[in-house]
Amino acid sequence: MNGRRVLLGVTGGIAAYKAAALASRLVQAGAILDVVLTADALRFVGAATFAALARRPVHTSLWERVEEIPHITLAREAEVVAIVPATANTIAKLALGIADDLLTNVVLATRAPLVVAPAMNTAMLEHDATRAHIATLRARGAEIVEPEIGFLAEREHGAGRLAGEDALVAAIEHALLRTNELAGERVLITAGPTREPIDPVRFLSNASSGTQGIELAREALARGAEVDLVLGPTSLEPPAGARTARVTTAREMDDAVRERAANATIAIATAAVADWRPATTHAHKVKKTDEPQSLALERNPDILANLGAQKNGLFLVGFAAETEALETSAREKLVRKQLDAIAVNDVGGERGFGAGPNALVLLWGVHGRKDLGAGSKRELAVRLWDAIVELKAERR
């Protein structure tokens, strides 16, 4: 943590006094600490306490030093934003994108990882709205430090007590580690479907939305990588920091990948590439008739196999969308295409394609296996990158 920029946001709950002890510990660990106190936090703790601990000005309003545009300055300087404690009100505003004070403006403007430590009465914590807002933040990649069960300010005993200091420090350290662990890596990701035209209005394709690849690109950027994203047809927007090449057909995707593969150190092929294309593409719409029709097909290039055959030090991860014998089929693909690892998921039901939840298992070597569990594709992107970083480090 030495020399790292940490922004500590303190909101208006009784646990705000504990944030002072956390601030002291972060400073002792070498962090450069900026503190933002909400108006309600100031009802519980004083700015002078945090200013003395951090030896830096404490920020309380959007309207202080307006010439510096404080919310943008703080947002860009922070390497991690930790909100301790986070009240139900602040959590709701973060989930909904409401920015009505300095802290919520900073969070909306920053690209730094977010650590959120809820603290509130049990009834508020367990309310459906609060649980939904926490789930939204977690799905976006925020690290939630779950509150403890213990004595509460209302003289009650239950869930909602602010997590312990060790857990808070560990979460901040983990978030900081993520910000630069891919520094120096050049990541190539393929995402989305391909479309193989039959005529100007019809094509062969599949249900892939590109969501998983886009979230993997977003997480790679958050960890400090340079990212090339080769993206098939989708209505989703790629992350702003990625160098995105939009393609339509498998051959276009193959060309774009070949152009970028030589400079890549890690490649993840999430794209659902069409295996076949029509042998003939009609210049005009084919009219409907009562006569039986047939469609001649020819093979598309195997983009992943081509990458595997010419890896030259590239760490190559494939995806296998299967409907039966999931791991058996994925391991065969792992060997045949000379991959370093493969993520397999079941697309036989409603899960897998689209923007909804997914579940992945990562396989490598002869027996290597890690169940990444189920979750949103944002959550799975975090878990998959954690596993890839660990696996790649073991190969060194």
Residue 126 neighbours by CB under 8 Å, 6+ apart? 159
d(CA 74, CA 64): 13
How big is the chain, counted in residues? 396
Is 206 one of the annotated active-site residues of the chain? yes
Residue 238 DSSP code: P
Q: Name the catalytic one among 89, 180, 206, 306.
A: 206
Alpha-carbon Rg for the chain in angstroms: 24
Q: In terms of C-beta distances under 8 Å and separation of at least 24 residues, what long-range contacts does 96-99 make, across chains too?
A: 96/133
For 41, 105, 116, 233, 304, the CA distances from 71, given in Å and listed in that order, are: 18, 6, 18, 36, 44
Handedness of CA 363, 367, 371, 372 (dihedral sign): negative
d(CA 272, CA 253): 11
Between CA 103 and CA 109, with CA 108 as vertex, the angle to 5 degrees is 95
Q: Tokens standing for 280?
A: 């003939």
* Catalytic residue IDs: 206
